[in-house]
Amino acid sequence: MGKAAFLLHGWLSDHDDFKALIPHLQGRYERIELVSYPGHGPGDDYRNFKARETVAHVEREYRRVLEECGEADVIGFSMGGALAAYLAANYPVHKLVLLAPGNKYFNLKLPFSKVKFLLKTVYAYQKAVLAKDRESKEELRQKLRGVFQDDIAGLRSSGTNGS
């Protein structure tokens, strides 16, 4: 039993997300657990990433750490932040630290739904531009504008002006 930190990196990334943070954690934790997702380890192919398998893998690893250490602080960056929030909602977490969490883009019920929507809409918009279809182009432009309204409102309310 010992104080543990459970670190979850971002999507299409690896443990290097925490390279600068680890020296600061080493004096505070007896154990630092760095989880690597399917398709994210050395020599792995990112195409092997599957949301459900990743969640199951993270859950297994976290349960193992809980069994061995009793409790853990969970630190998640980007998609790892979304996974950390998921763990906190379903398992005991001593402390939860979210660094730029990707919760908005990583929905465990509809994985990457916003990203998929954006890709499909941008592709359709590009086709409308090439076909010189003004009506479809304007409709798709409005859809894209609507997707980002909450992002823009959040930036404005935080005092960020984008410059």
pTM score, two decimals? Answer: 0.62
Task: Report, as an integer, the average pLDDT of 102-111.
Answer: 57
What is residue 153's predicted lDDT score, i.e. its pLDDT?
62
Burial bucket for residue 6 (CB in 10 Å: 0-12, 13-18, 19+): buried
5 forms beta bridges with 32, 73
Is residue 94 within 8 Å of 72, Cβ to Cβ? Answer: yes
Please give the CATH architecture assigned to the domain spanning 4-99: 3-Layer(aba) Sandwich (3.40)
Cα dihedral sign, 42-39-18-156: positive
Whether residue 112 has pLDDT greater than 60: no
29: pLDDT confidence band, cut at 50, 70 and 90? very high
Give the model confidence (pLDDT) of 34-84 as tens digits. Answer: 998 876 666 666 566 677 888 898 999 999 999 999 999 999 998 888 899
